[in-house]
Structure 1
Amino acid sequence: MPHSPAVEVRGLVKRYDGRAVVDGLDLTASAGRVTAVLGPNGAGKTTTVECCEGLRAPDAGSVRVLGLDPVADGPALRPRVGVMLQDGGLPTGVRAREMLDHVARMYADPVPTDALAARLGLDAFARTTVRRLSGGQRQRLALAVAVVGRPQVLFLDEPSAGMDPQSRLAVWELVRELRDAGAAVVLTTHLMEEAEGLADHVVVVDHGTVIAQGSVADLLASGTGTAVDDDGTLVVRVSADVDPAGLRERLGAGFGVEHRSASSFAVTGPVRPGTVADVTAWLAERDVLVTRLDTGRRTLEDVFLDLTGRSLR
Protein backbone atom coordinates (compact mmCIF):
# COMPACT_ATOMS: atom_id res chain seq x y z
CA MET A 1 0.00 0.00 0.00
CA PRO A 2 1.60 3.32 -1.08
CA HIS A 3 2.32 6.03 1.46
CA SER A 4 -0.11 8.94 1.19
CA PRO A 5 1.43 12.40 0.64
CA ALA A 6 1.26 14.69 3.66
CA VAL A 7 3.63 17.54 2.78
CA GLU A 8 4.20 18.71 -0.79
CA VAL A 9 6.54 21.57 -1.70
CA ARG A 10 6.90 22.56 -5.34
CA GLY A 11 9.24 25.23 -6.70
CA LEU A 12 9.51 27.01 -3.35
CA VAL A 13 11.28 30.37 -3.42
CA LYS A 14 11.92 32.57 -0.39
CA ARG A 15 14.01 35.74 -0.57
CA TYR A 16 15.53 37.96 2.10
CA ASP A 17 16.86 41.37 1.03
CA GLY A 18 16.61 40.29 -2.58
CA ARG A 19 18.65 37.12 -2.07
CA ALA A 20 17.02 33.73 -2.63
CA VAL A 21 17.56 31.67 0.52
CA VAL A 22 15.32 28.96 -0.92
CA ASP A 23 15.49 28.73 -4.69
CA GLY A 24 13.06 26.43 -6.51
CA LEU A 25 13.03 23.69 -3.89
CA ASP A 26 10.89 20.55 -4.23
CA LEU A 27 10.15 18.29 -1.27
CA THR A 28 7.62 15.59 -0.44
CA ALA A 29 7.00 13.92 2.92
CA SER A 30 4.63 10.98 3.32
CA ALA A 31 2.39 9.68 6.07
CA GLY A 32 3.86 6.86 8.12
CA ARG A 33 7.43 7.91 7.38
CA VAL A 34 10.19 10.01 8.93
CA THR A 35 11.63 12.48 6.42
CA ALA A 36 14.94 14.02 7.53
CA VAL A 37 15.91 17.37 5.99
CA LEU A 38 19.66 17.87 6.25
CA GLY A 39 21.90 20.72 5.22
CA PRO A 40 24.72 22.99 6.36
CA ASN A 41 23.97 26.22 8.23
CA GLY A 42 22.37 28.68 5.83
CA ALA A 43 21.36 26.01 3.31
CA GLY A 44 17.66 26.95 3.47
CA LYS A 45 16.27 23.96 5.33
CA THR A 46 14.88 25.89 8.32
CA THR A 47 13.23 28.48 6.06
CA THR A 48 11.69 25.67 4.03
CA VAL A 49 10.23 24.02 7.11
CA GLU A 50 8.98 27.38 8.44
CA CYS A 51 7.06 27.83 5.18
CA CYS A 52 5.54 24.38 5.72
CA GLU A 53 4.58 25.36 9.27
CA GLY A 54 2.89 28.57 8.10
CA LEU A 55 5.42 30.75 9.94
CA ARG A 56 6.63 32.31 6.68
CA ALA A 57 4.86 32.96 3.38
CA PRO A 58 6.58 31.78 0.18
CA ASP A 59 7.59 34.33 -2.45
CA ALA A 60 6.95 31.78 -5.19
CA GLY A 61 6.00 28.16 -5.58
CA SER A 62 3.45 26.16 -3.61
CA VAL A 63 3.34 24.50 -0.20
CA ARG A 64 0.62 22.08 0.84
CA VAL A 65 0.28 20.27 4.16
CA LEU A 66 -2.51 17.69 4.25
CA GLY A 67 -3.72 19.30 1.05
CA LEU A 68 -4.05 22.76 2.62
CA ASP A 69 -2.10 26.03 2.39
CA PRO A 70 -0.27 26.46 5.74
CA VAL A 71 -0.65 30.26 5.64
CA ALA A 72 -4.19 30.69 4.28
CA ASP A 73 -5.59 27.59 6.02
CA GLY A 74 -3.72 27.93 9.31
CA PRO A 75 -6.76 27.63 11.60
CA ALA A 76 -7.85 24.39 9.90
CA LEU A 77 -4.35 22.90 10.02
CA ARG A 78 -3.32 23.78 13.57
CA PRO A 79 -5.33 20.98 15.27
CA ARG A 80 -3.74 18.45 12.90
CA VAL A 81 -0.10 19.57 12.95
CA GLY A 82 2.51 19.49 15.72
CA VAL A 83 5.51 21.82 15.70
CA MET A 84 8.65 21.63 17.82
CA LEU A 85 10.93 24.61 17.31
CA GLN A 86 14.63 24.44 18.11
CA ASP A 87 14.33 27.11 20.80
CA GLY A 88 11.12 25.59 22.13
CA GLY A 89 8.98 28.66 21.44
CA LEU A 90 7.51 28.32 24.94
CA PRO A 91 6.56 31.14 27.36
CA THR A 92 9.36 31.28 29.90
CA GLY A 93 7.32 32.18 32.99
CA VAL A 94 5.04 29.14 32.93
CA ARG A 95 5.72 25.95 34.88
CA ALA A 96 6.48 22.91 32.77
CA ARG A 97 3.50 20.75 33.69
CA GLU A 98 1.10 23.70 33.58
CA MET A 99 2.27 24.38 30.03
CA LEU A 100 1.62 20.81 28.91
CA ASP A 101 -1.81 20.64 30.57
CA HIS A 102 -2.80 23.99 29.08
CA VAL A 103 -1.94 22.92 25.54
CA ALA A 104 -3.66 19.54 25.99
CA ARG A 105 -6.94 21.29 26.80
CA MET A 106 -6.92 22.87 23.35
CA TYR A 107 -7.43 19.49 21.66
CA ALA A 108 -10.52 17.31 21.44
CA ASP A 109 -8.64 14.05 22.01
CA PRO A 110 -5.22 14.74 23.53
CA VAL A 111 -2.71 12.17 24.67
CA PRO A 112 -3.19 11.64 28.45
CA THR A 113 -0.75 14.10 29.95
CA ASP A 114 0.13 11.95 32.97
CA ALA A 115 1.40 9.18 30.72
CA LEU A 116 3.19 11.58 28.37
CA ALA A 117 4.86 13.44 31.23
CA ALA A 118 6.04 10.18 32.78
CA ARG A 119 7.32 8.90 29.45
CA LEU A 120 9.46 11.97 28.80
CA GLY A 121 10.53 12.43 32.41
CA LEU A 122 8.72 15.73 32.89
CA ASP A 123 7.64 14.88 36.43
CA ALA A 124 11.17 15.60 37.69
CA PHE A 125 10.78 19.27 36.77
CA ALA A 126 6.98 19.64 36.59
CA ARG A 127 6.86 22.70 38.87
CA THR A 128 9.92 24.42 37.39
CA THR A 129 9.36 27.42 35.13
CA VAL A 130 10.49 27.14 31.53
CA ARG A 131 13.19 29.79 31.99
CA ARG A 132 14.86 27.65 34.66
CA LEU A 133 14.91 24.43 32.66
CA SER A 134 18.10 23.05 31.17
CA GLY A 135 18.35 22.86 27.40
CA GLY A 136 17.53 19.16 27.34
CA GLN A 137 14.58 19.56 29.72
CA ARG A 138 13.18 22.36 27.60
CA GLN A 139 13.47 20.18 24.50
CA ARG A 140 11.58 17.33 26.17
CA LEU A 141 8.80 19.71 27.20
CA ALA A 142 8.65 21.17 23.69
CA LEU A 143 8.33 17.68 22.23
CA ALA A 144 5.53 16.80 24.66
CA VAL A 145 3.67 19.98 23.68
CA ALA A 146 4.13 19.16 19.98
CA VAL A 147 2.77 15.60 20.20
CA VAL A 148 0.04 15.93 22.87
CA GLY A 149 -2.61 16.72 20.22
CA ARG A 150 -1.97 13.48 18.26
CA PRO A 151 -0.77 15.32 15.11
CA GLN A 152 -1.07 13.86 11.64
CA VAL A 153 2.02 15.85 10.62
CA LEU A 154 4.84 16.55 13.06
CA PHE A 155 7.67 19.03 12.39
CA LEU A 156 10.72 18.56 14.62
CA ASP A 157 13.62 21.02 14.54
CA GLU A 158 16.74 19.55 16.21
CA PRO A 159 14.58 17.47 18.60
CA SER A 160 17.41 15.98 20.66
CA ALA A 161 19.69 19.02 20.85
CA GLY A 162 21.15 19.38 24.33
CA MET A 163 19.81 16.03 25.53
CA ASP A 164 21.72 13.36 27.42
CA PRO A 165 21.91 9.87 25.83
CA GLN A 166 19.01 8.51 27.93
CA SER A 167 16.70 11.35 26.89
CA ARG A 168 17.78 11.06 23.27
CA LEU A 169 16.89 7.36 23.14
CA ALA A 170 13.49 8.06 24.72
CA VAL A 171 12.79 10.74 22.11
CA TRP A 172 13.83 8.49 19.24
CA GLU A 173 11.57 5.71 20.50
CA LEU A 174 8.62 8.09 20.67
CA VAL A 175 9.29 9.41 17.16
CA ARG A 176 9.34 5.86 15.78
CA GLU A 177 6.03 5.08 17.50
CA LEU A 178 4.41 8.19 16.04
CA ARG A 179 5.69 7.19 12.60
CA ASP A 180 4.38 3.66 13.02
CA ALA A 181 0.99 5.06 14.07
CA GLY A 182 0.75 6.85 10.71
CA ALA A 183 2.06 10.36 11.37
CA ALA A 184 4.23 12.10 8.82
CA VAL A 185 7.35 13.27 10.67
CA VAL A 186 9.56 15.96 9.14
CA LEU A 187 12.86 16.18 11.01
CA THR A 188 15.68 18.70 10.69
CA THR A 189 18.88 17.79 12.46
CA HIS A 190 22.65 18.24 12.43
CA LEU A 191 23.11 14.86 14.11
CA MET A 192 23.84 12.42 11.32
CA GLU A 193 23.43 9.52 13.77
CA GLU A 194 19.90 10.76 14.49
CA ALA A 195 19.01 10.97 10.80
CA GLU A 196 20.61 7.62 10.02
CA GLY A 197 18.76 5.91 12.86
CA LEU A 198 15.33 7.47 12.34
CA ALA A 199 14.83 8.50 8.73
CA ASP A 200 12.93 6.52 6.12
CA HIS A 201 13.72 9.24 3.58
CA VAL A 202 16.54 11.79 3.61
CA VAL A 203 16.57 15.11 1.75
CA VAL A 204 19.88 17.00 1.56
CA VAL A 205 19.52 20.73 0.95
CA ASP A 206 22.26 23.19 0.01
CA HIS A 207 22.21 26.67 -1.49
CA GLY A 208 18.42 26.70 -1.32
CA THR A 209 17.70 23.58 -3.34
CA VAL A 210 17.68 19.79 -2.99
CA ILE A 211 21.01 18.26 -4.03
CA ALA A 212 20.31 14.63 -3.08
CA GLN A 213 17.54 12.50 -1.63
CA GLY A 214 16.56 8.92 -0.99
CA SER A 215 16.67 6.33 1.75
CA VAL A 216 19.77 6.12 3.94
CA ALA A 217 20.78 2.99 2.03
CA ASP A 218 20.32 4.81 -1.30
CA LEU A 219 22.54 7.69 -0.20
CA LEU A 220 25.20 5.40 1.22
CA ALA A 221 25.20 3.60 -2.12
CA SER A 222 25.21 6.60 -4.43
CA GLY A 223 26.33 9.63 -2.40
CA THR A 224 29.75 9.61 -4.03
CA GLY A 225 28.98 7.55 -7.09
CA THR A 226 30.23 4.32 -5.52
CA ALA A 227 28.20 1.20 -4.99
CA VAL A 228 27.45 -0.51 -1.71
CA ASP A 229 29.46 -3.51 -2.90
CA ASP A 230 32.63 -1.47 -3.52
CA ASP A 231 35.78 -2.04 -1.51
CA GLY A 232 35.57 -2.00 2.25
CA THR A 233 37.81 -3.07 5.09
CA LEU A 234 37.29 -5.85 7.59
CA VAL A 235 39.64 -5.69 10.59
CA VAL A 236 39.94 -9.07 12.33
CA ARG A 237 41.31 -9.49 15.85
CA VAL A 238 42.20 -13.05 16.84
CA SER A 239 43.12 -15.02 19.95
CA ALA A 240 46.47 -16.28 18.60
CA ASP A 241 49.08 -15.21 16.09
CA VAL A 242 48.26 -16.48 12.61
CA ASP A 243 49.79 -15.75 9.21
CA PRO A 244 46.81 -14.65 7.06
CA ALA A 245 48.66 -14.95 3.76
CA GLY A 246 46.84 -18.16 2.88
CA LEU A 247 43.47 -16.48 3.42
CA ARG A 248 43.85 -14.49 0.20
CA GLU A 249 43.56 -17.67 -1.87
CA ARG A 250 40.44 -18.66 0.09
CA LEU A 251 38.75 -15.32 -0.58
CA GLY A 252 39.68 -15.14 -4.26
CA ALA A 253 40.41 -12.32 -6.69
CA GLY A 254 39.70 -8.76 -5.63
CA PHE A 255 40.73 -9.21 -2.00
CA GLY A 256 43.85 -8.14 -0.16
CA VAL A 257 45.10 -9.31 3.23
CA GLU A 258 47.39 -7.26 5.48
CA HIS A 259 49.06 -8.66 8.62
CA ARG A 260 48.84 -5.72 11.06
CA SER A 261 50.03 -7.22 14.33
CA ALA A 262 50.48 -10.50 16.17
CA SER A 263 46.77 -10.52 16.95
CA SER A 264 45.12 -8.72 14.04
CA PHE A 265 44.94 -8.48 10.25
CA ALA A 266 42.82 -6.62 7.72
CA VAL A 267 40.91 -7.85 4.69
CA THR A 268 40.22 -5.34 1.93
CA GLY A 269 37.87 -5.81 -0.99
CA PRO A 270 34.13 -6.24 -1.62
CA VAL A 271 33.33 -7.14 1.99
CA ARG A 272 29.92 -8.84 2.27
CA PRO A 273 28.34 -11.21 4.81
CA GLY A 274 29.80 -14.16 2.92
CA THR A 275 33.27 -12.66 3.31
CA VAL A 276 32.90 -12.71 7.09
CA ALA A 277 31.77 -16.35 6.94
CA ASP A 278 34.80 -17.31 4.82
CA VAL A 279 37.22 -15.55 7.18
CA THR A 280 35.80 -17.12 10.33
CA ALA A 281 35.65 -20.59 8.72
CA TRP A 282 39.30 -20.31 7.63
CA LEU A 283 40.31 -19.36 11.18
CA ALA A 284 38.20 -22.16 12.70
CA GLU A 285 40.09 -24.68 10.58
CA ARG A 286 43.24 -23.44 12.33
CA ASP A 287 41.62 -23.46 15.78
CA VAL A 288 41.95 -19.69 16.07
CA LEU A 289 39.16 -17.72 17.74
CA VAL A 290 37.92 -14.37 16.43
CA THR A 291 37.82 -11.89 19.30
CA ARG A 292 36.56 -8.86 17.37
CA LEU A 293 35.41 -7.82 13.88
CA ASP A 294 35.22 -4.23 12.65
CA THR A 295 33.91 -3.09 9.27
CA GLY A 296 34.96 0.18 7.67
CA ARG A 297 31.52 1.10 6.35
CA ARG A 298 30.64 4.57 5.14
CA THR A 299 28.23 6.60 7.20
CA LEU A 300 25.62 9.21 6.38
CA GLU A 301 28.03 11.84 7.70
CA ASP A 302 30.61 10.77 5.10
CA VAL A 303 28.02 11.16 2.33
CA PHE A 304 26.83 14.51 3.72
CA LEU A 305 30.36 15.93 3.76
CA ASP A 306 31.06 14.64 0.26
CA LEU A 307 27.92 16.37 -1.00
CA THR A 308 28.20 19.69 0.83
CA GLY A 309 31.95 20.05 1.36
CA ARG A 310 34.13 20.31 4.44
CA SER A 311 34.64 24.07 4.59
CA LEU A 312 33.02 26.10 7.37
CA ARG A 313 29.93 28.15 6.50
Structure 2
Amino acid sequence: MNARPTLPDAQMPPYVLGTMALTGYYGPVNENQAAATIARYLDAGGRYIDTADLYADGANEILVGRCLGPLRKNVVLATKFGYTFGERADQRGLDARPERVEPACDASLRRLGTDHIDIYYLHRVDSHVPIEDTWCAMARLVEKGKVRALGLCEVGPAIYRRAAAIHPVAAVQSEYSLWSREPEEEMLEFLQAQGAWFFGYASLGRGFLSGAVRKPEDFPPEDQRRDMPRFQGENFRRNLELVDALRAMAAEMGVSAAQLALAWCRRHLKASPIAGATAPEHIDDAQAALALSVPAEVWARIDAVFPLGAAAGQRYSASAMKRLQSGR
Protein backbone atom coordinates (compact mmCIF):
# COMPACT_ATOMS: atom_id res chain seq x y z
CA MET A 1 0.00 0.00 0.00
CA ASN A 2 1.15 3.55 -0.66
CA ALA A 3 2.11 5.95 2.09
CA ARG A 4 -0.57 7.20 4.43
CA PRO A 5 -2.78 9.89 2.91
CA THR A 6 -2.44 13.50 3.88
CA LEU A 7 -5.04 16.23 4.05
CA PRO A 8 -4.58 19.98 4.29
CA ASP A 9 -4.73 19.91 8.11
CA ALA A 10 -3.30 17.38 10.55
CA GLN A 11 -6.36 17.64 12.80
CA MET A 12 -9.87 16.65 11.82
CA PRO A 13 -12.31 19.57 11.62
CA PRO A 14 -15.02 19.86 14.30
CA TYR A 15 -17.63 19.59 11.58
CA VAL A 16 -18.09 20.10 7.87
CA LEU A 17 -20.79 22.26 6.31
CA GLY A 18 -22.88 20.12 3.97
CA THR A 19 -24.55 22.26 1.31
CA MET A 20 -26.95 19.80 -0.37
CA ALA A 21 -30.06 21.27 1.25
CA LEU A 22 -29.20 24.81 0.14
CA THR A 23 -30.46 24.10 -3.37
CA GLY A 24 -33.83 22.58 -2.64
CA TYR A 25 -33.27 18.92 -1.74
CA TYR A 26 -35.61 19.24 1.23
CA GLY A 27 -37.66 22.10 -0.14
CA PRO A 28 -37.01 25.58 -1.54
CA VAL A 29 -34.31 27.80 -0.05
CA ASN A 30 -33.92 31.45 -0.97
CA GLU A 31 -30.49 32.11 -2.51
CA ASN A 32 -29.86 35.04 -0.20
CA GLN A 33 -30.57 32.80 2.77
CA ALA A 34 -28.24 30.15 1.37
CA ALA A 35 -25.47 32.72 0.96
CA ALA A 36 -26.05 34.02 4.50
CA THR A 37 -25.79 30.46 5.84
CA ILE A 38 -22.43 29.86 4.19
CA ALA A 39 -21.23 33.28 5.36
CA ARG A 40 -22.23 32.50 8.96
CA TYR A 41 -20.27 29.24 8.82
CA LEU A 42 -17.15 31.03 7.57
CA ASP A 43 -17.55 33.83 10.10
CA ALA A 44 -17.71 31.20 12.86
CA GLY A 45 -14.33 29.87 11.76
CA GLY A 46 -15.54 26.98 9.63
CA ARG A 47 -13.17 25.91 6.87
CA TYR A 48 -14.59 22.70 5.39
CA ILE A 49 -17.39 22.77 2.83
CA ASP A 50 -18.85 19.72 1.09
CA THR A 51 -20.85 19.70 -2.14
CA ALA A 52 -21.34 17.41 -5.18
CA ASP A 53 -22.01 17.74 -8.87
CA LEU A 54 -25.25 15.79 -8.35
CA TYR A 55 -26.81 18.36 -6.04
CA ALA A 56 -29.35 20.29 -8.09
CA ASP A 57 -27.59 19.07 -11.24
CA GLY A 58 -24.57 21.30 -10.65
CA ALA A 59 -26.42 24.34 -9.32
CA ASN A 60 -25.17 23.64 -5.80
CA GLU A 61 -21.55 23.88 -6.92
CA ILE A 62 -22.33 27.14 -8.69
CA LEU A 63 -23.90 28.53 -5.51
CA VAL A 64 -20.96 27.45 -3.37
CA GLY A 65 -18.44 28.92 -5.78
CA ARG A 66 -20.31 32.21 -5.96
CA CYS A 67 -20.62 32.47 -2.17
CA LEU A 68 -16.97 31.70 -1.53
CA GLY A 69 -15.51 34.07 -4.11
CA PRO A 70 -12.19 35.45 -2.82
CA LEU A 71 -12.60 33.43 0.41
CA ARG A 72 -12.02 30.20 -1.52
CA LYS A 73 -8.34 30.20 -0.48
CA ASN A 74 -9.39 29.85 3.18
CA VAL A 75 -11.60 26.80 2.61
CA VAL A 76 -11.00 23.06 2.21
CA LEU A 77 -13.46 22.37 -0.58
CA ALA A 78 -14.79 18.89 -1.33
CA THR A 79 -17.03 17.74 -4.14
CA LYS A 80 -18.06 14.43 -5.68
CA PHE A 81 -18.82 12.77 -8.99
CA GLY A 82 -20.14 9.43 -10.20
CA TYR A 83 -23.86 9.94 -10.64
CA THR A 84 -25.63 10.93 -13.80
CA PHE A 85 -28.16 13.68 -13.32
CA GLY A 86 -31.95 13.33 -13.03
CA GLU A 87 -34.84 15.07 -11.33
CA ARG A 88 -35.58 12.23 -8.91
CA ALA A 89 -33.34 9.71 -7.17
CA ASP A 90 -34.76 6.78 -9.13
CA GLN A 91 -33.86 8.51 -12.42
CA ARG A 92 -30.16 8.77 -11.57
CA GLY A 93 -27.63 6.22 -12.65
CA LEU A 94 -23.96 5.66 -11.95
CA ASP A 95 -21.22 6.20 -14.49
CA ALA A 96 -17.68 6.06 -13.14
CA ARG A 97 -15.92 4.95 -16.31
CA PRO A 98 -12.34 6.25 -16.48
CA GLU A 99 -13.04 8.41 -19.52
CA ARG A 100 -15.71 10.28 -17.58
CA VAL A 101 -13.52 11.19 -14.61
CA GLU A 102 -11.57 14.18 -15.92
CA PRO A 103 -14.49 15.80 -17.81
CA ALA A 104 -16.59 15.55 -14.65
CA CYS A 105 -13.81 17.14 -12.61
CA ASP A 106 -13.32 19.93 -15.15
CA ALA A 107 -17.03 20.69 -15.09
CA SER A 108 -16.99 20.92 -11.30
CA LEU A 109 -13.96 23.22 -11.40
CA ARG A 110 -15.80 25.56 -13.77
CA ARG A 111 -18.94 25.60 -11.67
CA LEU A 112 -17.00 26.16 -8.45
CA GLY A 113 -14.86 28.86 -10.02
CA THR A 114 -11.62 27.38 -8.72
CA ASP A 115 -8.45 25.87 -10.14
CA HIS A 116 -8.36 22.89 -7.79
CA ILE A 117 -10.53 20.69 -5.58
CA ASP A 118 -9.16 19.80 -2.16
CA ILE A 119 -10.93 16.45 -1.73
CA TYR A 120 -12.52 14.77 -4.76
CA TYR A 121 -14.86 11.89 -3.92
CA LEU A 122 -16.31 9.04 -5.91
CA HIS A 123 -19.94 9.54 -4.88
CA ARG A 124 -20.81 5.86 -5.26
CA VAL A 125 -18.86 2.89 -6.57
CA ASP A 126 -20.08 1.90 -10.02
CA SER A 127 -20.64 -1.87 -9.90
CA HIS A 128 -20.05 -2.07 -13.67
CA VAL A 129 -16.58 -0.51 -13.47
CA PRO A 130 -13.70 -1.98 -11.42
CA ILE A 131 -12.75 0.45 -8.69
CA GLU A 132 -9.14 0.18 -9.87
CA ASP A 133 -10.07 1.67 -13.26
CA THR A 134 -11.91 4.62 -11.76
CA TRP A 135 -9.28 5.22 -9.10
CA CYS A 136 -6.39 5.27 -11.57
CA ALA A 137 -8.18 7.99 -13.53
CA MET A 138 -8.84 9.93 -10.34
CA ALA A 139 -5.20 9.61 -9.30
CA ARG A 140 -4.19 11.29 -12.56
CA LEU A 141 -6.17 14.34 -11.45
CA VAL A 142 -3.85 14.62 -8.46
CA GLU A 143 -0.81 14.32 -10.72
CA LYS A 144 -2.17 17.16 -12.86
CA GLY A 145 -2.79 19.40 -9.85
CA LYS A 146 -6.55 19.56 -10.35
CA VAL A 147 -7.21 17.67 -7.10
CA ARG A 148 -5.25 17.53 -3.84
CA ALA A 149 -6.67 14.37 -2.25
CA LEU A 150 -9.13 11.59 -3.09
CA GLY A 151 -12.03 10.12 -1.16
CA LEU A 152 -14.68 7.40 -1.32
CA CYS A 153 -18.31 7.32 -0.24
CA GLU A 154 -20.23 4.42 1.30
CA VAL A 155 -17.51 1.78 1.07
CA GLY A 156 -16.16 -0.88 3.39
CA PRO A 157 -12.60 -2.08 4.03
CA ALA A 158 -12.38 -4.32 0.94
CA ILE A 159 -13.11 -1.55 -1.57
CA TYR A 160 -10.92 0.84 0.42
CA ARG A 161 -7.94 -1.53 0.24
CA ARG A 162 -8.31 -2.05 -3.51
CA ALA A 163 -8.30 1.69 -4.11
CA ALA A 164 -5.54 2.46 -1.60
CA ALA A 165 -3.23 -0.04 -3.30
CA ILE A 166 -3.21 2.39 -6.25
CA HIS A 167 -3.37 5.81 -4.59
CA PRO A 168 -3.98 6.94 -0.98
CA VAL A 169 -7.60 7.25 0.14
CA ALA A 170 -7.65 10.40 2.25
CA ALA A 171 -11.22 10.20 3.51
CA VAL A 172 -14.40 8.16 3.47
CA GLN A 173 -17.96 9.42 3.77
CA SER A 174 -20.90 7.35 4.96
CA GLU A 175 -24.16 8.18 6.64
CA TYR A 176 -23.61 8.37 10.39
CA SER A 177 -25.98 9.52 13.09
CA LEU A 178 -27.89 8.24 16.09
CA TRP A 179 -30.09 6.18 13.80
CA SER A 180 -27.38 5.18 11.29
CA ARG A 181 -24.62 3.70 13.44
CA GLU A 182 -23.31 1.05 11.03
CA PRO A 183 -19.84 2.67 10.65
CA GLU A 184 -19.17 1.81 14.30
CA GLU A 185 -19.22 -1.91 13.49
CA GLU A 186 -15.90 -1.80 11.66
CA MET A 187 -15.19 1.25 9.55
CA LEU A 188 -14.34 3.86 12.20
CA GLU A 189 -11.61 1.74 13.75
CA PHE A 190 -10.40 0.60 10.34
CA LEU A 191 -9.99 4.13 9.02
CA GLN A 192 -8.24 5.29 12.15
CA ALA A 193 -5.70 2.49 11.66
CA GLN A 194 -5.21 3.56 8.03
CA GLY A 195 -4.64 7.19 8.97
CA ALA A 196 -7.67 8.27 6.92
CA TRP A 197 -10.52 10.51 7.95
CA PHE A 198 -14.19 9.63 8.31
CA PHE A 199 -16.92 12.15 7.57
CA GLY A 200 -20.46 11.23 8.59
CA TYR A 201 -23.18 12.81 6.48
CA ALA A 202 -26.87 13.22 7.43
CA SER A 203 -25.70 13.67 11.02
CA LEU A 204 -29.14 14.93 12.04
CA GLY A 205 -30.99 12.12 10.29
CA ARG A 206 -31.83 14.45 7.39
CA GLY A 207 -33.29 16.90 9.91
CA PHE A 208 -35.60 14.37 11.53
CA LEU A 209 -33.55 14.10 14.73
CA SER A 210 -34.12 17.79 15.38
CA GLY A 211 -37.75 17.01 16.17
CA ALA A 212 -38.98 19.76 13.84
CA VAL A 213 -40.88 17.31 11.64
CA ARG A 214 -43.92 15.91 13.42
CA LYS A 215 -45.94 14.34 10.59
CA PRO A 216 -45.28 13.29 6.98
CA GLU A 217 -47.34 16.21 5.73
CA ASP A 218 -44.68 18.56 7.13
CA PHE A 219 -42.50 17.68 4.14
CA PRO A 220 -42.94 19.99 1.13
CA PRO A 221 -44.23 18.22 -2.01
CA GLU A 222 -40.80 18.28 -3.66
CA ASP A 223 -38.96 17.07 -0.54
CA GLN A 224 -36.79 14.04 -1.37
CA ARG A 225 -37.45 12.53 2.06
CA ARG A 226 -40.92 11.56 0.88
CA ASP A 227 -39.24 8.78 -1.14
CA MET A 228 -37.26 7.37 1.80
CA PRO A 229 -38.70 4.45 3.80
CA ARG A 230 -37.79 5.90 7.21
CA PHE A 231 -40.17 8.79 6.64
CA GLN A 232 -43.17 6.77 5.56
CA GLY A 233 -46.17 5.20 7.31
CA GLU A 234 -45.54 3.11 10.42
CA ASN A 235 -41.79 3.70 10.14
CA PHE A 236 -42.38 7.41 10.58
CA ARG A 237 -44.45 6.87 13.73
CA ARG A 238 -41.90 4.49 15.31
CA ASN A 239 -38.98 6.77 14.50
CA LEU A 240 -40.81 9.75 15.94
CA GLU A 241 -40.95 7.91 19.27
CA LEU A 242 -37.14 7.70 19.23
CA VAL A 243 -36.87 11.39 18.49
CA ASP A 244 -39.28 12.28 21.28
CA ALA A 245 -37.07 10.37 23.73
CA LEU A 246 -34.09 12.37 22.50
CA ARG A 247 -36.02 15.63 22.85
CA ALA A 248 -36.87 14.77 26.45
CA MET A 249 -33.22 14.16 27.33
CA ALA A 250 -32.18 17.35 25.55
CA ALA A 251 -34.80 19.33 27.45
CA GLU A 252 -33.39 18.04 30.74
CA MET A 253 -30.04 19.54 29.73
CA GLY A 254 -31.58 22.77 28.49
CA VAL A 255 -30.43 22.22 24.90
CA SER A 256 -32.13 21.30 21.63
CA ALA A 257 -32.46 17.78 20.26
CA ALA A 258 -30.43 18.87 17.23
CA GLN A 259 -27.57 20.07 19.42
CA LEU A 260 -27.49 16.85 21.41
CA ALA A 261 -27.65 14.68 18.28
CA LEU A 262 -24.79 16.55 16.64
CA ALA A 263 -22.69 16.48 19.81
CA TRP A 264 -23.17 12.69 19.90
CA CYS A 265 -21.61 12.40 16.44
CA ARG A 266 -18.40 13.94 17.77
CA ARG A 267 -18.11 12.06 21.02
CA HIS A 268 -15.73 9.36 19.72
CA LEU A 269 -13.38 11.92 18.12
CA LYS A 270 -12.91 9.46 15.26
CA ALA A 271 -15.45 11.11 13.00
CA SER A 272 -16.33 14.57 11.80
CA PRO A 273 -20.01 15.15 11.13
CA ILE A 274 -21.16 16.74 7.91
CA ALA A 275 -23.89 19.02 9.19
CA GLY A 276 -26.35 20.37 6.69
CA ALA A 277 -27.89 23.79 7.16
CA THR A 278 -30.48 25.94 5.42
CA ALA A 279 -30.38 29.02 7.64
CA PRO A 280 -27.73 30.93 9.62
CA GLU A 281 -29.27 29.87 12.93
CA HIS A 282 -28.47 26.25 12.06
CA ILE A 283 -24.80 27.22 12.13
CA ASP A 284 -25.31 28.70 15.59
CA ASP A 285 -26.90 25.41 16.65
CA ALA A 286 -23.92 23.45 15.39
CA GLN A 287 -21.43 25.71 17.17
CA ALA A 288 -23.36 25.32 20.42
CA ALA A 289 -23.48 21.54 19.97
CA LEU A 290 -19.72 21.25 19.67
CA ALA A 291 -19.25 23.15 22.92
CA LEU A 292 -21.59 20.90 24.91
CA SER A 293 -20.28 18.99 27.91
CA VAL A 294 -22.45 15.89 28.16
CA PRO A 295 -22.31 13.58 31.20
CA ALA A 296 -21.44 9.94 30.55
CA GLU A 297 -24.76 8.82 31.97
CA VAL A 298 -26.60 10.84 29.31
CA TRP A 299 -24.59 9.16 26.57
CA ALA A 300 -25.49 5.82 28.11
CA ARG A 301 -29.19 6.69 28.12
CA ILE A 302 -29.01 7.85 24.51
CA ASP A 303 -27.21 4.68 23.44
CA ALA A 304 -29.92 2.62 25.14
CA VAL A 305 -32.61 4.41 23.11
CA PHE A 306 -30.61 4.36 19.86
CA PRO A 307 -28.77 1.03 19.64
CA LEU A 308 -27.48 -0.12 16.28
CA GLY A 309 -30.49 -0.82 14.08
CA ALA A 310 -32.96 1.15 16.20
CA ALA A 311 -34.41 3.11 13.26
CA ALA A 312 -37.41 1.66 11.46
CA GLY A 313 -36.99 1.40 7.71
CA GLN A 314 -34.08 1.47 5.30
CA ARG A 315 -32.05 4.61 4.68
CA TYR A 316 -32.92 4.70 0.97
CA SER A 317 -35.25 3.07 -1.51
CA ALA A 318 -34.46 -0.53 -2.49
CA SER A 319 -32.77 0.55 -5.74
CA ALA A 320 -30.61 3.16 -3.99
CA MET A 321 -29.61 0.70 -1.26
CA LYS A 322 -28.09 -1.56 -3.93
CA ARG A 323 -25.59 1.19 -4.71
CA LEU A 324 -24.08 1.14 -1.24
CA GLN A 325 -20.79 -0.69 -0.87
CA SER A 326 -20.41 0.06 2.85
CA GLY A 327 -20.16 -3.58 3.85
CA ARG A 328 -17.54 -4.48 1.27
Q: Higher relative contact order at CA 8 Å, sep ≥6: structure 1 or structure 2?
A: 2
Structure-1-length-normalised TM-score: 0.36
Q: Taking structure 2 as the reference length, what is the TM-score of the superposition? A: 0.35
Could you say which structure has the higher helix fraction?
2
Relative to total residues, which structure has the larger strand share, 1 or 2?
1
Q: Which has the larger radius of gyration?
A: 1
